[in-house]
Amino acid sequence: MSFVYISVSEEDRVAMLLMDDETGSLEPIASFPVPGRPAPMAVHPSGRYIYVGRRGDNRVSSFSVDRESGDLTEIGEAALMSDPCYMAADRRGRFLLSSYYAGGGAAVHRIGSGGAVAGPAAQWIETATGAHSIQTDASNRFAFVPHIADKGPNAIFQFRFDEETGRLTPNSPAVLTPESEDGPRHFCFHPSLDVLYTSNEQDCSVTAYRLDRSTGALNALQTVSTLPEGYTGDNSCAQIQITPSGRFLYAPNRGHDTIAGFRVDTATGLLEPIGHTPTERMPRAFSLDPSGRFLYAAGLDTGRLASYRVDQSSGGLAPLDIYPIGAAPMWVLIAPGRPLS
């Protein structure tokens, strides 16, 4: 079994649903109050803790997770420099990294032995307006902070990461600038290839970058549109995820209100579009389940969660059910429960 957690921003709570790992069906089972417009969420590598960023009061709440029931118990909170738009634990689970669109930077907080985020920040790095996400790579030696082009510099800031101290230092080169006004926003890593993919907010596209494992530098390989040919309406991209198999990648369109799907070449990491699946209006947040067999997309404007089965041969999405969630769902996080004995 797995648990689906959704930050319902305008209702100051996190909704929890139980997922059937065989059918993908969901059952609402609990709701946890979280003040201050909860939005981004992150899970500890151990699966024992979840972190919720509160954009209304510039704080982060730490929760322990009951792996059998999915229940959340708050174990602490810490102040942040500004309102966070993305958070991720480093690969060893010793630090929480966060990025700040309006604050124009990134922060590193220590995670205590009990799993709670400690304040104040161990490090704050000023980058530029539009900092939209941050993660470390599989080696835990490098970190990246994309900046969108709307009010930011249209760039990916590249860092070295010290997993012992949590220190971020600019890499060389420190900044990668796309050739066009792509506006990189979120990104994901291929699970086995040296490739990183960004969703480009302004360009409505996905870019594949080669990641040099020795230097941590990125080099663009390919950019593919998330929109069908001929579409001229308003649109922007948000999140991006790849299946655990590394064979399929998805990026929702906000405006066209579809989920763009791509087949991934398992040798090169290059992308081939496989179509667009209609979904809820303004799909800001979505997530694949840990097996890569189901996808869940939340409509920011509708307050509903749409579920799909992922065809393991083609990557196509087959609609399943739609669930009412609440006002302004901002994040979808799926965590596996403890295996049943």
The 10s digit of each residue's pLDDT in 226-246 is 999 999 999 999 999 999 999
Is 260 contained in some domain? no
Q: What is the pLDDT of residues 78-94, one digit of tens each?
A: 999 999 999 999 999 99
Is 124 contained in some domain? yes
| Nearest residue to 308 (alpha-carbon basis) of 324, 286, 329 | 286
- The CATH number linked to 50 is 2.130.10.10
Is 105 contained in some domain? yes
Which two tokens mark 15?
């909704």
CA distances in angstroms from 18 to 5, 148, 224, 309, listed in the order given: 9, 34, 35, 16
- Mean pLDDT score, 281-288: 98
pLDDT at 339: 60
Number of domains present in the structure of the chain: 1
Helix, strand, coil in percent for the chain, rounding step 5: 0, 55, 45
Is 270 contained in some domain? no
Is 142 contained in some domain? yes
Is 318 contained in some domain? no
Reply yes or no on whether the pLDDT at 269 is more than 80.
yes
Q: In what order do the strands lie in the sheet with 329-336?
A: 26-33, 13-19, 2-8, 329-336
Q: How many CA atoms lie within 13 A of 60 on its CB side?
A: 36
How far apart are the C-alpha atoms of 177 and 229, rounded to whole Å? 26
Q: What is the pLDDT of residues 165-218, one digit of tens each?
A: 999 999 999 999 999 999 999 999 999 999 999 999 999 999 999 999 999 999
pLDDT at 1: 87
Structural domain that includes position 114: 43-147+165-180
Q: What is the pLDDT of residues 177-188, one digit of tens each?
A: 999 999 999 999
Is 336 contained in some domain? no
| Nearest residue to 278 (alpha-carbon basis) of 330, 333, 322 | 322
pLDDT at 310: 98
Is 158 contained in some domain? no
pLDDT band at 341 (very low <50, low <70, confident <90, very high): very low
How far apart are the C-alpha atoms of 226 and 204, rounded to whole Å? 6
Cα torsion angle, 295, 301, 39, 192, sign: positive
pLDDT at 6: 98
Which two tokens mark 98?
């966060």
Cα torsion angle, 298, 299, 305, 309, sign: negative
How far apart are the C-alpha atoms of 271 and 211, rounded to whole Å? 16
